[in-house]
Amino acid sequence: MPESWLHREIGEQPAAVARFLDGECAHVARLAAPLRRADIRFVFVVARGTSDNAARYAQYVFGALAGLPVALAAPSLVTLYGAPPRLRGALVVGISQSGRSPDVVETVAAARRAGAPTIAIVNDAGSPLALAADEVLPIHAGEERSVAATKTYTAQLAAVALLAASLAGRRHVLADLQRIPRAMERALGTEAAARRAARRIAGASRAVVLARGMNYPTAWEIALKLKELALLLAEPYSSADFQHGPIAMAERRLPAIVVSPRRSRAAAELVALAARLRAGRSPVVSIGPSGPGSIPLPDVPEVLSPIVAVIPGQLLAFHAARARGLDPDAPRGIRKVTETR
């Protein structure tokens, strides 16, 4: 197999997350102290692309740990319509790999001008987004040469989890987070199973990716990787929403990737849905449970499981691209940095 930057960077993720945690735990503790004293009523997250899926994770982790509702920004309201939102009581968090997308930068800058506390979660601490925010939380992922984001995404998830747990004072979550890089190492050991699963879905033209709760963002990110790398029209769904209509599409030619870590509150529902789809002859790839045709996951607390559960999905997309004769290092029509305005 020819060397691939994407494959190499998938393998670098445990070290990248460990490096982030080593470098930023004390920093985030200092950031969180004044925020706990402030009247923070909600979190407003600004992101695009893969970082949007880290923002979706923020909706769950800030809600579960800190009881804070999370709103996802519509940056076009600022840059196209000149209608910045009212942000009294908000903590504004910008998330970006490059920190160079003008609409994300301007939305965070507008929030800062309005007096809201702003934090940039970014890989480049000297980027325009970093300069636009009050505080910078660098993710320390190192240069990411592949077009499709992998190690920057999982480092962003770790940053979001660290910030939420620190703000909420959840020491047990902070302790569990320190063990996540080891679980990520174990998840990399699922590659043979991911390669076999990729061969099963390589002939399809479309797929669905199903999850619920904390791993709903994981479904979005795996679907994005299947689109970017394998040119597979993969759509993410909450398992609850899928059963409210889209399940009518289920058939032999529609593979379903079901993400259901062992400790998921929705595990029983997802296992039952996978069985129902198999009974209807839909090809099913389960990420989480052990068993024939599945991709097992290490056992980690559900609130942190998205940092681990996405890795088999990345490997699945990588090998699906290879099985379809595509170059995962040169996905069609996209660039590393997309500057939307």
Paired strand residues for 170: none
DSSP 285-297: EEEES-STT-EE-
What distance, in Å, lies between the first and last C-alpha atoms of the chain? 39
Domain boundaries, the chain: 5-178, 184-323
The pLDDT-based confidence of 114 (bands split at 50, 70, 90) is very high
The pLDDT-based confidence of 252 (bands split at 50, 70, 90) is confident
Topology (CATH) of 184-323 = Rossmann fold (3.40.50)
The pLDDT-based confidence of 341 (bands split at 50, 70, 90) is low
How far lies 219's CA from each of 26, 98, 109, 144, 257, in Å?
A: 31, 23, 31, 22, 8
Spatial contact of 193 and 295, defined as CB atoms under 8 Å apart: yes
Place of tokens 């769904």: 237
DSSP 96-164: ESSS--HHHHHHHHHHHHTT--EEEEES-TTSHHHHHSSEEEE-------SSS-SHHHHHHHHHHHHHH
Q: Do domains 5-178 and 184-323 have the same CATH topology?
A: yes
Three-state SS at 256: strand
In the predicted model, what is the mean pLDDT of residues 154-178? Answer: 98
Q: Say what the pTM is.
A: 0.96
Spatial contact of 333 and 229, defined as CB atoms under 8 Å apart: no
What region, left, alpha or beta, does residue 149 occupy, with left being phi > 0 and alpha being psi -120 to 50 degrees?
beta
Provide the percentage of residues in the chain whose pLDDT is more than 70.
Answer: 97
Spatial contact of 288 and 297, defined as CB atoms under 8 Å apart: yes
Distance, C-alpha 68 to centroid of its chain: 19
Classify residue 317 by burial, with Cβ atoms within 10 Å: 0-12, 13-18, 19+.
buried
Give the per-residue pLDDT at 292: 73
In the predicted model, what is the mean pLDDT of residues 34-45? Answer: 95
In this structure, the number of other CB atoms found within 10 A of the CB of residue 41 comes to 11
Classify residue 63 by burial, with Cβ atoms within 10 Å: 0-12, 13-18, 19+.
middle
Give domain 5-178's CATH number out of 3.40.605.10, 3.40.50.10490, 3.40.190.10, 2.40.10.170: 3.40.50.10490
